[in-house]
Amino acid sequence: MIPAPNNNMPDALVSHVPGFVGAARNHCDSNEQLVDWPTLFERQCELTPAQTAIVFEDESVTYDELNQLSNRIAHYLLDSEVVPEQRIGICLDRSIAAIAAMFGILKAGAAFVPLDPEFPADRLEYMIDDADISHVICDETYKSILPSSVSIVTPGEDKWSRDIANPDISIAPDQLAYIMYTSGSTGRPKGVQIEHRALAAYSYADASEYELQSTDRTLQFSTLNFDIAIEEIYPPLLTGSTVVVRPRNRSDAQNELSDIVEKFDVTAIHLATAYWHEWVDLMRATGARVPESIRLMVVTGEKVSTEHFRRWLTLCDHEVQWFNAYGPTEATVTSTIFKPSADWQGDNMPIGKPLKRYTAHILDAELKPVGKDQTGELFIGGPGLARGYLNRPDLTEKAFVRWNSPTGEVTIYKTGDLARWLPNGDIEFAGRIDHQIKLGSYRIEPGEIEAALNQHPATLESLITFDSIDGKKFLIAYVAHGDNDVTVDELFGHLKENLPAYMVPVRYLLLESFPKTINGKIDRKALPSPASSVVAGAGNYVAPRTELEKELAEIWTEVLNVPQVGIHDDFFSLGGSSLLVTRVITRLSSQLNQEIPVRDFFANPTVASIARHIGRLNQSDQASTDDEHEISRAIRATLPRIQPQFFQSGDASLFGVHYAPVKNKTSHAVVICPSYGHEYARAHRNLQQLGVQLARQGCDVLRFDYAGTGNSTGDEQTSTTDDWIGNIRDATSFTRELTDCERISVIGIRLGATLLSNCDNLNVDLRIYWDPVCHGKQYCEWLEDIHNNTLRNLTRFPVTRKASATPQAFGFELPKSRKQNLSNLKLAEPGFGCKTALLSSEGYERAEFAGQPGNGWTHQWHVVDTRDAIYWHEPTYTERAFSSPESFEAICCLVGESQ
Amino acid sequence: MNKVTLDKPTPPSHDQLDRPFVFGEYDHLVGVATLPGHADGQTPDSDRPAIIMMTPGMLHHVGPYRMYVQLARGLSKEGFLSFRFDLSGIGESLAVGTSGTSLERATSEAAAAMDLLQSEFGIEKFILFGLCSGADDSVHTALKDDRVTGAILLDACGFATKRFYWQRACSHYLPRVFKPFTWRRSLEKFLPAEDTPASLAIGDDIREFPDRDQAAKEIQSLVDRNVKMRFVYTGGVGHYYNYENQFRDMFHDVAFNDSVSWKYFQKFDHVATLCEDRKLLLTDIVDWTKNTFGTH
């Protein structure tokens, strides 16, 4: 029998730990001595060691296993001389390892800082710099986006310490636990510092209020970069219950969330309000019911639509505890909750009463409590308050104010939200004091977007606000540009380069100057209506042609809240998100009686393509030839110009294909050096696709064939590695002249990388060696092995074949002189004064690399490990073409960084 | 250090016989023409047919182990212009969402290649060369386009005959009975297959042969149009073709004349991996072309 931990929750928070470091500092005004979070978790592990703690896809771990893994990570960090409160970045997707990493960091006395891989590089760099992060625990996929200044650790069994015991260190309750970055009005995000006691106080209050039980299974749905993730992970794991991590791959089911809930018997869900609205609509549209397993539903982040709450009630066939939660990050996730009764009626959903140990105060401008029915500013107090903003004492002082309460002076957090007391003691939210915008799960300071807009040379002044239709908010950018010429697309592109996607407005109003009040401030009331705004990308508008396209465009227009949608406009470029995809699918189902999986929508992101897809699904595709042409032309417009040509290198004419960007051209060119022999053909398609992708990113790209290979002229048998090294040099010069680009990157794959490593005086900005061949001699021997095995093993030939008089290796002549020449080739030590990256795919024999002379070079390279399976040496795959999305992403990032 | 490198790239030499092209309605197709060796800047002889090479499966226009480039150079020496190109979505050519089945798309793109050569060099007659699915595409194109006067079809469609089964038992299964590793491989088929990583999955390029009667009808139609055809089969397709004159037996009801010939390379694999096999194969093709369409 597993005890119900919430029975003794109040006491559990009070420290019984010897050596506890005295009273909490800063904002903790309680006399209670609260314990650190790891202590609470370890207590729980002792109570329920064999209970399942986390389920992720087909994997699961018990409390004991999770604790041991966290301990191993903690010991690893302690062995790495991590000191108390040292900030460790985490750049991880949802997984068991990610949760263990967070716990390991806490157990080592350090503090974790979530780093969202979707953020632009300079924003991540700022956060890393601001938080003074020296180590980042990072998924392989995201390594390439992090600056080289940080030490990167990828989760892996072999990495962590073998020591599974709880670390014997003392963690003070007021020690820093994590830093969560939120939007900042000055143009830079600000780091909210949460201490252990705040995390512990919040976790216990949450578990207690929601009556979490050991039988609960809470869904971990959010990315780890929001504090909803804290809510989903920390309180449940103090109660012996199970956290179910959302699977990596998108479900094919029309209602993905219900599918996950049913598949994993989820009992508790915490959702951002906007997402919950979508889920309710989707269930309603598809005739689905609230899954039977759910007993707790917590909605948080934005104002709840009472209409959706009523819809929810009609969808429930069983009793579900439903809560509206409210809380700023500065007060650790949630501060107040409201649980409406079954017969609750009202126009505004209250935000309820404070959690246990939290306090709430509604004060006027002089910090005096307002009367009943009067509106004032909401302040939050209690042990859940943050320490303050990292490196921002000025902001901390403004937001965390000292206040004379009836019981003495305490610190309270100024939320910036307006509120009023209801007669029954509940709080009702009444809007914002400032212009801060809450968009989905994100809290956005308009000033941060304005600061980025103002950096554009054409901008004189800017102002960010929002428009709202049917409860859905959209950012609107007003830009005063005087006589400067600028287009909406230019501003949109500028912001996309500098801000996370969720902060980039899609709608713009360009004005010569702003109307001003008598005090010289922007007169907001005199600004033109958002309805006259222009959508980024509207210059390419193509009107719908068929009834289906018209209906689809109407749905998109309403869902995206844009004035118009052209049939070739990309849903995601118009501000669409996965959340809005759900809404479109709901509408398709209810309005058009057309059910399509989310995955199909992602594959067809324009009105034209989804209309064609639907037509084909219904076998009623009546697309005319003209339609087909238009769609093909639209697709072609997104692809680069191809220019195949020959250029001279020594005595040979080398064949090269130049991919020229059709738009967003940068001053960066990339040269791609292929491999040799059968690997040339194996990698051809993949390198071609890489070229196209880089060109779409704005780079000029040249792929070429060495002398005597591919389409190039030159003697196939006598061309030497020196000739080929010269070919790389000439291809680079040719690219420089052809494109007039200032910056050049060169990518070599396999033998191409080895040749590139031996190519000095290239004067390029970046070299990428992708799975380089380290020893020419071993490479030749391996080629001969494959060849000889093929002759004998009756898989390729109908009869066994004997080695012929023609020296050859798997399809190509390999005379003695060439073999000798190739055998002498070795991967050369880096040292050309430019950034050099080693890209290593799954199945690449890194051991071979490590065995190179000058062992230990890897410290000189920027190493990017990917999970792309290529398996160069695996006989089964010797001729198999491959795809390598992670490598592409890493290459695009590396090239992008060096622009 | 490299002894032949120049400081700056220079234009291609005058004896360059290869000329790259971008063509197709959306400028999305890429091909390389190899001019006749004697041309040296002169216009190729427009009375001689040009050879258009259709790509096999997902391989690009260089061909397996450079087979298409070597063939182009062999044909060039005999005075023939050839053109190797990539179908859309393969090799250098871009996918632009053109609809239709793969056979229809290949036919339309082969026609675009013929249009190009017609406008560039005034050539009006063409020989299609295709390996594997390229052979299927070639037959389909030849049926649709009268400009095609010849076809070289390597491992084209095939159908088992009675003798095929006897040969299969004697020359395939019997030799393997005494090979331990073939037993092991057979047993392995009953074990759970190892998962192939998604990144290495084989593309869905399974060939669909017409039924025998349809294939016979198609060949008869081309024979009647006096399209010269060379069918070449290798041991690489031993699962449907395994003796010298199987072609004759497969299409016993077709009224052949001297416009059709066939050849069987029993020991070769499907793509002529061994250099000596490839040399023999290419010699056969070049000789047949020369003998059928005349020397320069």
Q: Could you tell me which residues are beta bridge partners of residue A571?
A: none
Percent of chain B with pLDDT over 70: 79
Q: Which residues on A lie below 8 Å from B238 (Cβ)?
A: 798
Chain B residue nearest residue A880, CA to CA: B200
Q: What is the mean pLDDT of residues B102-120?
A: 90
Pick the CATH number of A445-536 from 3.30.300.30, 3.90.120.10, 2.30.40.10, 3.40.30.10: 3.30.300.30
Contact B28 A631 (CB under 8 A): no
Q: pLDDT band for position B16 (50/70/90)?
A: confident
3-state SS, A499-516, equals CCHHHCCCEEEEECCCCE
Q: Which pairing describes strands A59-62 and A87-91: parallel, antiparallel, or unpaired?
A: unpaired
Amino acid identity, position A526: A
Largest CA-CA distance found in chain B, in angstroms, rounded: 66
Task: Please state which architecture CATH assigns to domain A641-774+827-897.
Answer: 3-Layer(aba) Sandwich (3.40)
Amino acid identity, position B253: D
Residue pointed to by tokens 């707790």: A296
Residue B197, in any domain of the structure: no
Q: Which residues on A lie below 8 Å from B27 (Cβ)?
A: 636, 641-642
Q: Which residues on B lie below 8 Å from A650 (Cβ)?
A: 2, 4-6
Chain B residue nearest residue A887, CA to CA: B199
Q: State yes or no: pLDDT of B188 exceeds 70.
A: no
Mean pLDDT by 10 residues, chain A (899 residues): 34 36 34 77 95 94 96 95 95 93 97 89 90 93 85 85 94 95 79 95 93 95 89 96 88 79 95 85 84 95 84 91 95 95 83 93 91 87 95 94 88 92 89 75 78 87 78 81 87 84 85 77 81 71 87 86 76 64 80 72 72 73 62 80 94 95 84 94 88 88 96 88 95 92 93 94 90 91 89 83 87 89 88 81 64 47 78 79 76 76
Q: What is the mean pLDDT of residues B89-104?
A: 74
CATH number of the domain within which B247 lies:
3.40.50.1820
DSSP-derived letter for residue A142 is G
- From the centroid of its chain, how far is CA A835? 25
Task: Give residue B31's domain range.
Answer: 18-161+212-293
Q: Which residues contact A624 (CB under 8 A, 6 or more apart)?
A: none
- From the centroid of its chain, how far is CA B153? 6
Residue pointed to by tokens 């199987």: B246
Q: Are A706 and A766 in contact (CB under 8 A)?
A: no
Q: pLDDT band for position B130 (50/70/90)?
A: very high
Q: Decide whether A5-338 matches A544-637 in CATH topology.
A: no
Contact A642 B30 (CB under 8 A): yes
Contact A633 B4 (CB under 8 A): no
Q: pLDDT band for position B237 (50/70/90)?
A: very high
Residue B170, in any domain of the structure: no
Q: Quick one: tokens of B229?
A: 């055809």
Mutate to test the interface with B, among A711, A814, A871 (most CBs of B within 10 A): A711
Q: What is the mean pLDDT of residues B235-246?
A: 92
pLDDT digits (tens, 9 = 90+) for A89-122: 999 989 999 999 999 999 999 999 999 887 888 8
pLDDT at A20: 24
Q: Are A39 and A171 in contact (CB under 8 A)?
A: yes
Residue B7, in any domain of the structure: no
Q: Specify the 3-state DSSP secondary structure of A256.
A: helix
Which stretches of A303-392 are assigned E, i.e. beta strand?
Answer: 321-326, 336-338, 353-354, 359-363, 376-381, 388-389
Rg (CA), chain B: 21
pLDDT digits (tens, 9 = 90+) for A402-449: 999 888 899 999 998 889 999 888 999 887 787 778 776 577 878 888
In degrees, rounded to 5, the angle at the alpha carbon of residue A99 between the alpha carbons of residues A97 and A104 is 90
Domain count along chain B = 1
Q: Could you tell me which residues are beta bridge partners of residue B83?
A: B33, B52
Q: Which residues on B lie below 8 Å from A655 (Cβ)?
A: 18, 20, 32
Q: Are A563 and A531 in contact (CB under 8 A)?
A: yes
Chain B CB within 8 Å of residue A871 CB? yes
Query: Given this structure, which CATH class describes domain A5-338?
Result: alpha beta
Amino acid identity, position A570: D
Contact B267 A797 (CB under 8 A): yes
Q: Which residues on B lie below 8 Å from A729 (Cβ)?
A: 2, 5
A875 min Cα distance to partner chain B (Å): 13
DSSP-derived letter for residue A658 is E
Q: Quick one: tokens of A528?
A: 């033109």
B27 min Cα distance to partner chain A (Å): 8
Q: pLDDT band for position B4 (50/70/90)?
A: very low
Nearest CA among A770, A762, A751 for reference residue A728: A762
Q: Judge residue A519's burial from the number of C-beta atoms within 10 Å of its C-beta, 0-12 exposed, 13-18 middle, 19 or more buried.
A: exposed
Q: Which residues on B lie below 8 Å from A632 (Cβ)?
A: 25-26, 96-98
Residue B44, in any domain of the structure: yes
Contact A623 B69 (CB under 8 A): no
Contact A796 B202 (CB under 8 A): no
Contact B181 A641 (CB under 8 A): no
Contact B274 A801 (CB under 8 A): yes
Neighbours of A856 (CB within 10 A): 8
pLDDT digits (tens, 9 = 90+) for B60-73: 999 999 999 999 99
Contact B94 A639 (CB under 8 A): yes
Q: Are A763 and A743 in contact (CB under 8 A)?
A: no
Contact B6 A685 (CB under 8 A): no
Chain B CB within 8 Å of residue A815 CB? no
Domain residue spans in chain A?
Answer: 5-338, 445-536, 544-637, 641-774+827-897
Mutate to test the interface with B, among A626, A636, A874 (most CBs of B within 10 A): A636
Q: How far apart are CA A328 and CA A227, in angstroms?
A: 9
Q: pLDDT band for position B204 (50/70/90)?
A: very low
DSSP-derived letter for residue A761 is S
Q: How far apart are CA B23 and CA B83, in angstroms?
A: 12
Dihedral pair phi/psi, residue A340, rounded to 5°: -70, 145
Nearest CA among A490, A208, A481, A487 for reference residue A334: A208
* Residue among B92, B181, B267 minimizing CB distance to A798: B267
A791 min Cα distance to partner chain B (Å): 9
Residue pointed to by tokens 């074949």: A801
Q: Are A225 and A443 in contact (CB under 8 A)?
A: no
- From the centroid of its chain, how far is CA B18? 19
Mutate to test the interface with B, among A653, A724, A878 (most CBs of B within 10 A): A653
Q: Please spell the DSSP secondary structure of A822-884, one letter per residue.
A: HHT-BPPPP-SSSEEEEEEEET--HHHHHTSSS--GGGGSEEEEEEEE--TT-GGGTT-----
A504 min Cα distance to partner chain B (Å): 30
Q: Which pairing describes strands B50-54 and A808-809: parallel, antiparallel, or unpaired?
A: unpaired
Chain B CB within 8 Å of residue A696 CB? no
Q: Specify the 3-state DSSP secondary structure of B248.
A: helix
Q: Which pairing describes strands A190-195 and A242-245: parallel, antiparallel, or unpaired?
A: unpaired
Residue B174, in any domain of the structure: no
End-to-end distance of chain B based on CA atoms, in angstroms?
A: 43
Q: Are A892 and A693 in contact (CB under 8 A)?
A: yes
Mutate to test the interface with B, among A685, A732, A867 (most CBs of B within 10 A): A685
Q: Compute the CA torsion angle B148, A655, A689, B208 (nearest 10 deg).
A: 30
B156 min Cα distance to partner chain A (Å): 18
Q: Are A435 and A462 in contact (CB under 8 A)?
A: no
Fold classification of A544-637 is: 1.10.1200
Q: Are A676 and A706 in contact (CB under 8 A)?
A: yes
DSSP-derived letter for residue B171 is I
Q: Which residues on A lie below 8 Å from B199 (Cβ)?
A: 868-870, 882-885
pLDDT at A624: 57
pLDDT digits (tens, 9 = 90+) for B243-288: 999 999 999 999 988 899 999 999 999 999 999 999 999 999 999 9
A806 min Cα distance to partner chain B (Å): 7
Q: Which residues on B lie below 8 Å from A644 (Cβ)?
A: 20-22, 30, 32, 92
Provide the number of CB pairs (under 8 Å) joining chain A to chain B: 192
Q: How many CA atoms lie within 13 A of A662 on its CB side?
A: 12
Chain B CB within 8 Å of residue A648 CB? yes
Contact A869 B200 (CB under 8 A): yes
Percent of chain A with pLDDT over 70: 87
Q: How far apart are CA A454 and CA A447, in angstroms?
A: 10
Contact B276 A631 (CB under 8 A): no
In degrees, rounded to 5, the angle at the alpha carbon of residue A166 between the alpha carbons of residues A165 and A171 is 155
pLDDT at A899: 59
pLDDT at A367: 92
